[in-house]
Structure 1
Amino acid sequence: MSQDAAADFHSQDHAEDAEALLRDADARRGEGRWTEAAELYAKIISLWPESWALMVQEGHCLKESGRVAEALARYRAAENFAPDDSDLQVQIGHAHKLLGDRQKAALAYARAFSLGPENGDAQREASATSEWLVRASPAPDTREDIPAEAPAARPESQLPVLSPAFAGGPERAGPSSTALQMVLDVTDLLDYFNGARTPTGIQRVQMGIVSRAMAEPALAELDLCFAAYDASDLAWHEVDSAGFTYLTQLAATGSDTEEPAWVLTRDSLRQRVAAAPGFAFRQDAVLVNLGNSWGFPDYFRALRAVQRSHNVRYIPFVHDCVPLVVPEHCLLTMVQDYARWFAALGLHAHGILCNSENTMRDVRQQLNVLLPEVELPGHVIRLDADPRSVAVPSGDATLDALKTLRSGEPFALFVATIESRKDHLLVFQAWLQLLRRHGAQRIPRLVCVGKAGWHSEAALSLLQHAPELQRHVVLLSRISDQELDALYDRCQFTVYNSHYEGWGLPITEALAHGKIVLTARHSALVEAGGEAALYFTPQSQPDLQQKLEQLIFDADARRQQEAVVREKGRPRSWSAVKDQTLGAVLELARLPARGLAERKAIRFGKHYQTRRFLRTKPDMAVALAEAVRDGLSWHPAEDWGVWCRSGTAILRIPLPLSSDGNGLRLYLQLRSPPVATTLPVRCGTQGGRGAHYELPMDATTDRTFMLDLPPLGDATVLEVELENGNGVDLGVLGLPDPRRIGVGVRGFMICRLDDHAARLDFLEQQGFYQGPAV
């Protein structure tokens, strides 16, 4: 029998054994023989180690037999495989309650309810135990800063207001009447903290800049504010700087997402932001987004509303173009969201900030394809900042995960999410060859800090199936900034690999600690490493191994490189990065604003669809079709098109600048709600009278209307107003959809009356299918 055949035979044998054991375990559980059933489930799990559902069953049996602490341990083991399962969190809550730990029980129930609002057990338990969410022993000087009860149980006026003195911020003088209102958008960071606590690259950048902006006096010509976007009301709300600072300090000093102080501070701040009125933008204000906004629904539509009302200038910080350059290393949904966001970026941004020359080149190249006639002004803000300039003093951090290392044992450090783009596989393969060539005694451990992410299977599979490598690699996740700081201080050198980067913050962090960095020579990594880093040929395992051997075995070479790091790897402070960022924004704010109509107009004769597209490349036609929906009287786009809300929904369609606005026809594709209606429509110039139409709509039908437009002269924008009145309440009609809707818009096309080819082409698209040639 071959080796593979023998493996298949034993695998089949184990499967049959496990199934027999499972039948026996289920039977004994049914008979109430809890201890025997738990032992059988444990045996089955040894054969099926990833069966988290069986871990839960084992936990149930242990709990019923009175061994609650052991049951909790099995629930926690199952949680590693199913962190988002609401029912499992309920069981964890039950176990904590039986053990008398009320806080942890209430936190587990609250998490269960947040994961599954429809889970009746989670809802009942969360409500019944909300009063148990009391804070642990207060830290010095913070006794009034954390509520002593669940924030959800109290009105907004009773939510905690964190002290500016505690937050470390200066007393700010009121802004002068001529000061520029600069609003830092922290939406992405607050959203990240909803499900995580330990920040990754982009979150670290935001924390570094925003924390310094909050803690230090603002420039005299600036009125610095902080806000977060809320998709539920398409508005920004002010963020309390003291509360935000305290939250980021907690993020830096711990990793436990269930710690009472963390949960209550985060939820209190979130509720205060949601309860605040819509942010009061001043005329010509600047909205600066230091993080990501492509995942937030209708962000640009809300932005267009404040741009029209207050001429708000929008300046995003673009950290990379990874989803466009190497989409194979990203989640498909991320690529689609990013492509849609990037196309809209060129239509809405007043200027751009980038973290490297490499990223700026990528942005310019991509935008030039979309908007060759428009060049957005921009500045490069290098992220060569010392992380210790904003870190909370750590002292001697204790790492339980490193207790397996002998005292003083050397190790190398690799800080990155375990995903295909970071290419841990190449590093693991090199480490395995080093172990086999030189022996485990001569090769330092490899400590990897980062959670498992997208396409991590190949690297983790190698680790799992190579025992000598598995014994020599330590995987750590949910590491606090304090612990990470200690790891950098204690490591012998660091490795950082990636297929592509916008910057490479772990390189800067390592250099700040005086540590050697070995990284790939490509993209922005050469900017982050500069002359202080060591480089290997990208994707070259032999070159990586050779450089690693030099670092491991040549002490003189290592000391020489450490001297280079001390001389040429000195980073600047986050205060300096903040100052450069604010200065760049001030410079961009002085430039004249350009509206949508000045950047890109529709093309006569082109069909624009208003539905939600799932494309992996930026498409200007898609961006324009989305951008013409103006105001707040629109629901989010769907696969077929977009529903209006009640009231007046407006399409503002930019026309070619050199066109004569006479003799034009609008083809307007609409969908009626479930009741028949007559839709009043006005078409004309902005603020002008225009022409009025009454469009008859049968219930639940799609119709295309041909509207001959009034003379528009040299107008650059066609304004189409759809008067929906009170709309239709779908819930009243007995439909499961609770929304109130007006008509739906599926698309539009504008052409000249004498453009018969465009008219015929559009009409053929409506009724015929053109198949591919065979």
Structure 2
Amino acid sequence: TMPRVSFEVSDLFYFYATGNTVTGIQRVQQELCVQFAKQDQAHCEFVIYDRNVQKWRSVSKEWLLSLIEAARAFRPGGEPWSSIYEVYAKRALTAPLKQFDPGEWLTNVGASWALASYFVQVRQLRRRGVRLAVFCHDLIPARHPAYFDHIHTIEHTYWLAQIRETADVVFCNSESTRRDYLEIVKPPSQPVAVCRLDATWAKDHISPEADVAATELLSDLSVFDDEFVLCVGTIEPRKNHLTLIHVWDKLRHTHLNGCPKLICVGRIGWKSDAVISQAKALGLLNSQIHFLSGLSDDVLQALYRKCLFTMYVSYYEGWGLPITESLAAGKLCIAGGNSALREAGSNYAVYVDERSETSIYEAICRFLDNRGALNEANARVRRDYRPRAWEDIAREITVTLRDAPSDERPTASLPILDINTFYRFGRPEPVKTFDHPRAAEIFCLGQAWYQPESWGTWTAREAAEIGFRISTANPRPTVFLGLSSPPGPPASLIIAVNGKQIKTVGEFTGRKVVRISLEEERQHAGGGTFLPVRIRVTASRIQNMREIEGSNDERMLGVAYLFIVGFDQTSMAERLEFLEQVVADEI
């Protein structure tokens, strides 16, 4: 029988706050959610993670489908999209809180790494028997961090580490992504399935309105059908637009009036200035090369169908959705030969060395100089390429969940705190060792936590709790907890262990290291192998940052957590090293 499945739509919902057009991961999530909504309502529902209360809310499939349709149907000139979105947001963020059942699946096919305290809450669901399925779209920030800003790489690698720890099933969009996941993350026994994104367009036809809109758009650019090449993807270094610009600079000199225009469709991304500047410096911008963004799905599909062929010479991808979209629209794609791009294009794309301008130039000339060969290649794509419907991909996911083995891991257990191991509540660097990232956020409990920063993690309430287990074989266990006071006036603290107050800390500002002996708890552990420990820190005050002059922070800030480390009676050398680091202000 099919278990209950709650599909996570938070990423898509919050992404819509930035605009009505979706790309990449959000496009995949959008199409899958439409198909999930058509499945048996008895076992399927949708949830949104409310970042303010750090809990999930149940939203109806009617609400979700209406939001998606509103985004697709939106056209500039009428009511602003922000106003339309606000109506949906108010309904979502006042929806009832979700009550998960043991054995139920929380299934996330989007991107959740930027949601504050997300995995803190997921771990608490796991302890109550809820199972987690995650769709991994790529591991590029872990494999090639140079293509991303430092903060994104940190968030993404910690996300991968927490997937390793918490997910019951991981879906990868290609064999290439699966290989990356197994090689980099090294999951111990986690099922890792491949669910290919070889999907057709959501609509198999173009509306007359979209066709007219695309024709008018091309006319405004002085471009006509069969006179342009299309390149779809975010404008960022990894997508390799700079190489295409250099190739087009050569084409305009070798092919003169026979040089087609290059139309690049995609939002302006990270470090895109060099791309635009180079096109402008070479005199190509808005003459031979055009950059567009914010197009509807219908208009984009019309451009695919009107172009000569498409280009997608990205340096690395988890799948390569623009290749699939091109083939599904009946057009040849000239693509790079790395990562999953050959999976996306199968034997219908033409592959080049994406690092070589010569390789790309020669492939383009092969079809510009022989229109018969191009027509034959496009005809072959239209005749033989058989993409899957999004419905089939959604069904593959739900069938995998149905057939997944029941979870035999203990669900109520707290994570183990290893003696002599220094755990940080902050995220100073990307994760490099995924089997033991030494991230203290695995110990966080409740809804009091903000997203970790480089140095530590702020709390949002007067009281916050952490929980862990330590081995009862450790003699005289002691933990040291690094804290920082709320901004503003001094604060005092009350420390409780397993519900019993054990210590008070007088008023202080700045950092404080609190020593907590667990020997008494160990002696009363009752003979078990592990001692469960819950430490609750209650502050005398929290700070409303809006009240601090010059602050751009609007949060309520309680105590900040910096680190936790545990020692036992045998840890003399480790204690000395820790003491030296504290005295030298090295931690």
User: For the Cα contact (< 8 Å) 1:315–1:349, is it kept in 2?
Assistant: yes
> In the alignment, which residue of structure 2 is the partner of 1:583?
399
Within the alignment, does 1:467 sit opposite 2:283 as a pair?
yes
> In the alignment, which residue of structure 2 is the partner of 1:298?
117
> In the alignment, which residue of structure 2 is the partner of 1:236?
56
CA shift digits 1:395-453 (9 cap, x unpaired): 533233311436545221111121111111111211221111121x2122222111322
3-state DSSP of counterpart to 2:213? coil
CA distance, structure 2, for counterparts of residue 738 and residue 563 of structure 1: 58
Structure 1: unaligned runs, 5 residues or longer: 1-177, 684-688
User: For the Cα contact (< 8 Å) 1:521–1:536, is it kept in 2?
Assistant: yes
**Cα deviation, residue 643, structure 1:** 5.1
Within the alignment, does 1:349 sit opposite 2:167 as a pair?
yes
CA distance, structure 1, for counterparts of residue 448 and residue 280 of structure 2: 54
Q: In structure 1, what residue type is equivalent to 2:196?
A: R
Give 1:697's match in structure 2, choosing from 490, 506, 516.
506
Within the alignment, does 1:335 sit opposite 2:153 as a pair?
yes
User: For the Cα contact (< 8 Å) 2:470–2:531, is it kept in 1?
Assistant: yes
After TM superposition, the structure 1 stretch with the greater mean CA deviation from structure 2, 400-409 or 588-597, is 588-597
> Structure 2 vs 1, CA of residues 668 and 466 (structure 1 numbering), >3 Å: closer, same or farther?
closer
Q: In structure 2, what residue type is equivalent to 1:376?
A: Q
**Cα deviation, residue 313, structure 1:** 1.4
> In the alignment, which residue of structure 2 is the partner of 1:322?
140
User: For the Cα contact (< 8 Å) 2:542–2:558, is it kept in 1?
Assistant: no
User: For the Cα contact (< 8 Å) 1:350–1:594, is it kept in 2?
Assistant: no
**Cα deviation, residue 641, structure 1:** 3.8
After TM superposition, the structure 1 stretch with the greater mean CA deviation from structure 2, 392-401 or 268-277, is 392-401
Greater relative CO, 1 or 2 (CA 8 Å, sep 6+): 2
Within the alignment, does 1:669 sit opposite 2:482 as a pair?
yes
1:76-87 maps to which residues of 2 (within 5 A)? Answer: none
Within the alignment, does 1:608 sit opposite 2:404 as a pair?
no
**Cα deviation, residue 550, structure 1:** 0.8
3-state DSSP of counterpart to 1:747? strand
Q: In structure 1, what residue type is equivalent to 2:496?
A: V
Q: In structure 2, what residue type is equivalent to 1:201?
A: G
Q: In structure 2, what residue type is equivalent to 1:342?
A: L
> In the alignment, which residue of structure 2 is the partner of 1:552?
368
CA distance, structure 1, for counterparts of residue 225 and residue 455 of structure 2: 63
**Cα deviation, residue 733, structure 1:** 13
**Cα deviation, residue 350, structure 1:** 1.7
CA distance, structure 1, for counterparts of residue 580 and residue 88 of structure 2: 55
After TM superposition, the structure 1 stretch with the greater mean CA deviation from structure 2, 758-767 or 713-722, is 713-722
CA shift digits 1:333-361 (9 cap, x unpaired): 21122122222222221221111111111
**Cα deviation, residue 677, structure 1:** 4.0
Bigger helix share: 1
CA distance, structure 1, for counterparts of residue 545 and residue 250 of structure 2: 68
1:86-485 maps to which residues of 2 (within 5 A)? Answer: 180-214=3-37, 216-218=38-40, 223-254=43-74, 256=76, 259-260=78-79, 262-308=81-127, 310-368=128-186, 374-389=188-203, 393=207, 395=209, 396-399=211-214, 400-403=216-219, 404-405=221-222, 407-439=224-256, 441-467=257-283, 470-485=286-301
**Cα deviation, residue 555, structure 1:** 2.6
CA distance, structure 2, for counterparts of residue 733 and residue 479 of structure 1: 38
CA distance, structure 1, for counterparts of residue 250 and residue 547 of structure 2: 66
> In the alignment, which residue of structure 2 is the partner of 1:526?
342
Q: In structure 1, what residue type is equivalent to 2:10?
A: T
After TM superposition, the structure 1 stretch with the greater mean CA deviation from structure 2, 296-305 or 706-715, is 706-715
User: For the Cα contact (< 8 Å) 1:520–1:537, is it kept in 2?
Assistant: yes
Paired residues, what number? 573
**Cα deviation, residue 457, structure 1:** 2.5
> Structure 2 vs 1, CA of residues 623 and 566 (structure 1 numbering), >3 Å: closer, same or farther?
farther
> In the alignment, which residue of structure 2 is the partner of 1:124?
none
3-state DSSP of counterpart to 1:479? coil
> Structure 2 vs 1, CA of residues 629 and 619 (structure 1 numbering), >3 Å: closer, same or farther?
farther
**Cα deviation, residue 682, structure 1:** 1.7
CA shift digits 1:180-233 (9 cap, x unpaired): 22111111111111111111111111111111121x2328xx610111111100
CA distance, structure 2, for counterparts of residue 442 and residue 717 of structure 1: 76
> In the alignment, which residue of structure 2 is the partner of 1:747?
563
3-state DSSP of counterpart to 2:185? helix
Bigger strand share: 2
> Structure 2 vs 1, CA of residues 185 and 200 (structure 1 numbering), >3 Å: closer, same or farther?
same
Within the alignment, does 1:709 sit opposite 2:529 as a pair?
no
CA distance, structure 2, for counterparts of residue 413 and residue 739 of structure 1: 44
CA distance, structure 1, for counterparts of residue 492 and residue 325 of structure 2: 63
CA distance, structure 2, for counterparts of residue 745 and residue 388 of structure 1: 47
Rg larger for: 1
**Cα deviation, residue 585, structure 1:** 2.3
**Cα deviation, residue 575, structure 1:** 0.6
Q: State TM-score, norm by structure 2.
A: 0.89
3-state DSSP of counterpart to 1:575? helix
> Structure 2 vs 1, CA of residues 573 and 542 (structure 1 numbering), >3 Å: closer, same or farther?
same
CA distance, structure 1, for counterparts of residue 90 and residue 157 of structure 2: 32
**Cα deviation, residue 708, structure 1:** 4.4
CA distance, structure 2, for counterparts of residue 255 and residue 227 of structure 1: 28
CA shift digits 1:669-688 (9 cap, x unpaired): 344565564624225xxxxx
3-state DSSP of counterpart to 2:566? strand
User: For the Cα contact (< 8 Å) 1:418–1:450, is it kept in 2?
Assistant: yes
Structure 2: unaligned runs, 5 residues or longer: none
> Structure 2 vs 1, CA of residues 537 and 692 (structure 1 numbering), >3 Å: closer, same or farther?
same
Give 1:650's match in structure 2, choosing from 465, 480, 489.
465
3-state DSSP of counterpart to 1:544? helix
CA distance, structure 2, for counterparts of residue 742 and residue 241 of structure 1: 37
CA distance, structure 2, for counterparts of residue 651 and residue 506 of structure 1: 44
**Cα deviation, residue 623, structure 1:** 5.4
Q: In structure 2, what residue type is equivalent to 1:250?
A: A
User: For the Cα contact (< 8 Å) 1:634–1:645, is it kept in 2?
Assistant: yes
Q: In structure 1, what residue type is equivalent to 2:476?
A: G
User: For the Cα contact (< 8 Å) 1:629–1:652, is it kept in 2?
Assistant: yes
User: For the Cα contact (< 8 Å) 2:231–2:265, is it kept in 1?
Assistant: yes
> In the alignment, which residue of structure 2 is the partner of 1:128?
none
Q: In structure 1, what residue type is equivalent to 2:535?
A: E
User: For the Cα contact (< 8 Å) 1:501–1:525, is it kept in 2?
Assistant: yes
**Cα deviation, residue 723, structure 1:** 5.4
Aligned residues with identical type, % of pairs: 27
> Structure 2 vs 1, CA of residues 760 and 182 (structure 1 numbering), >3 Å: closer, same or farther?
same
User: For the Cα contact (< 8 Å) 1:601–1:654, is it kept in 2?
Assistant: yes
CA distance, structure 1, for counterparts of residue 207 and residue 408 of structure 2: 44
Give 1:627's match in structure 2, choosing from 419, 432, 442.
442
> Structure 2 vs 1, CA of residues 514 and 661 (structure 1 numbering), >3 Å: closer, same or farther?
same
Q: In structure 1, what residue type is equivalent to 2:44?
A: L
Q: In structure 2, what residue type is equivalent to 1:362?
A: D
CA shift digits 1:490-523 (9 cap, x unpaired): 1111111101100011111111111111101110
> Structure 2 vs 1, CA of residues 675 and 616 (structure 1 numbering), >3 Å: closer, same or farther?
closer
User: For the Cα contact (< 8 Å) 1:531–1:569, is it kept in 2?
Assistant: no
CA distance, structure 1, for counterparts of residue 508 and residue 241 of structure 2: 57
User: For the Cα contact (< 8 Å) 1:354–1:380, is it kept in 2?
Assistant: yes
> Structure 2 vs 1, CA of residues 194 and 733 (structure 1 numbering), >3 Å: closer, same or farther?
closer
CA shift digits 1:289-341 (9 cap, x unpaired): 11101111111112223333x32212111111111122222223211221222
> Structure 2 vs 1, CA of residues 732 and 445 (structure 1 numbering), >3 Å: closer, same or farther?
closer
> Structure 2 vs 1, CA of residues 640 and 563 (structure 1 numbering), >3 Å: closer, same or farther?
closer
User: For the Cα contact (< 8 Å) 1:668–1:705, is it kept in 2?
Assistant: yes
Q: State TM-score, norm by structure 1.
A: 0.69
**Cα deviation, residue 264, structure 1:** 4.3
Could you say what the CA RMSD is over the residues aligned between the two structures, in angstroms? 3.0
Within the alignment, does 1:718 sit opposite 2:532 as a pair?
yes
